[in-house]
């Protein structure tokens, strides 16, 4: 199948793409106005778009083999059942809400970003969609605004109370650098990956079945903790001792956010001062996983086993879960050129422990 056969139309008028992302440090800090350190992954989502000739919107997902056909009135009413369609619909709607005219379109989407592994397949879809619409309709919006529109679409129309990290990473990051982002001010800078290192992402094989409900619960706990501490967000606390007065589990939730923000700042300070040490960067990643496991409680046994194997494997500087948790993937900083050998060793041990993992990035 392709655009022409699905929509019975000539070649698409525009094509746009956006990558998934993996987060090296700064997990669960973005909705606390904190600091994050993601990088883009090689896998991308591609959208092809052309104007519709029957005044209806048509979306097709190659991966899901699902098609949406919806008229203007139903579109305005938001009558969208297919999950991927809601993300596309949301992107169009948020652009319309600020006054842009988006005529009915045909949109074909295909993606190599793994679904359900915490690598931001939804953000890649949103950013690619808005990029394509920007090009087709010549909209005067920049890459930061694309990320902001994409986040708004996910919150309002996909009903996911996400932070801004995923969309900013998909819109601005590349695979050779880390994107340091202050999610409150959107101040940012691009920094090189530690010299001599590479990124290895391995899926635990455990679906993120509780990620949605657990994510919302953790966010509510952080908001409650900030309120008790008298600050706008936990980002405003840098001294971890200040959270010790909180009741449980708010104390541990806040302690993770404060220490995780400090880990990001320490990592980028070392990179900026050119004092970056692969070992020290890896230690920060290891400490991040321990905090996510013990204080934030978003890990699961499979992730802990996989991370433990990675951390004990020669050539691995640090490893942690990545994404919302409750399943999904791990990210490791490894010696450049050793990705395949390391991945094979790790998966052999992990599979021997009774699990089935697979390599997503790096080998």
- The DSSP output letter for 336 is T
Distance (Å, whole) CA 35 – CA 257: 10
Name the residue among 199, 181, 198, 179 with its Cα closest to residue 190: 179
Dmax (CA) of the chain: 65
What is the bridge-based pairing of β-strands 56-61 and 105-111? parallel
Are the beta carbons of 36 and 23 closer than 8 angstroms? yes
Identify the CA nearest to 208 among candidates 318, 117, 109, 275: 117
Q: Where does residue 354 fall: left (phi above 0), alpha (psi -120 to 50 degrees), or beta otherwise?
A: left
| Residue 19, number of CB atoms within 10 A of its CB | 26
- What does the block give as tokens for 117? 């592994």
Spatial separation of the C-alpha atoms in residues 356 and 114, rounded to whole Å: 16
Strand (E) or helix (H) holding 302 = helix 301-311
Paired residues of 35 in beta bridges: 182
∠ CA 359-84-164 to the nearest 5 degrees? 75
CA-based nearest residue to 108, from 217, 240, 6: 6
Closest-CA residue to 306 (of 344, 340, 342, 357)? 357
Q: State the number of CA atoms in the 13 A half-sphere of 2 facing the CB.
A: 6
Task: Name the strand (E) or helix (H) holding 250.
Answer: helix 250-272
Q: Is 304 a catalytic residue?
A: no
* Catalytic-role residue among 33, 166, 203, 295: 166
Q: Which residues are catalytic?
A: 166
């Amino acid at each position: 199948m392709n655009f022409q056969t699905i929509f019975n139309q000539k070649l698409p008028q525009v094509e746009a793409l956006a990558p998934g992302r993996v987060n090296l440090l700064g997990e669960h800090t973005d909705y606390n106005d904190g600091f994050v350190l993601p990088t883009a992954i090689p896998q991308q989502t591609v959208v092809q778009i052309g104007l519709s000739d029957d005044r209806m919107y048509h979306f097709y997902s190659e991966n899901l083999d699902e098609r949406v056909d919806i008229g203007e009135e139903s579109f305005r009413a938001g009558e969208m059942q297919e999950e991927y369609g809601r993300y596309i619909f949301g992107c169009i709607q948020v652009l319309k809400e600020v006054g842009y005219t988006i005529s009915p379109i045909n949109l074909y989407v295909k993606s190599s970003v793994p679904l359900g592994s915490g690598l931001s397949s939804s953000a890649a879809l949103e950013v690619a969609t808005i990029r394509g619409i920007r090009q087709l309709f010549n909209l005067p919006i920049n890459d930061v605004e694309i990320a902001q529109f994409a986040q708004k679409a996910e919150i309002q129309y996909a009903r996911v109370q996400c932070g801004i990290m995923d969309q900013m990473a998909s819109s601005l990051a590349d695979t050779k650098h880390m994107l340091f982002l202050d999610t409150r001010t959107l101040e940012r800078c691009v920094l090189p990956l530690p010299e001599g290192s590479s990124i290895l992402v391995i899926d635990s094989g455990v679906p993120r079945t509780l990620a949605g409900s657990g994510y919302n619960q953790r966010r509510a706990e952080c908001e409650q903790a900030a309120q008790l501490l008298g600050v706008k967000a936990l980002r405003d606390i840098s001294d971890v001792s200040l959270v010790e007065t909180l009741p449980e589990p708010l104390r541990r939730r806040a302690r993770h956010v404060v220490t995780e923000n400090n880990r990001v700042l320490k990592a980028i300070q070392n990179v900026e001062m050119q004092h970056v040490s692969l070992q020290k960067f890896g230690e920060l990643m290891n400490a991040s996983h321990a905090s996510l496991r013990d204080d934030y409680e978003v890990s699961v046994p499979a992730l802990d086993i996989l991370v433990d194997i990675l951390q004990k494997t020669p050539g691995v500087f640090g490893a942690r879960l990545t994404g919302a948790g409750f399943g999904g993937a791990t990210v490791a900083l490894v010696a450049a050129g050793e990705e395949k050998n390391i991945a094979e060793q790790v998966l052999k041990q992990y599979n021997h422990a009774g699990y089935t993992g697979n390599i997503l990035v790096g080998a």
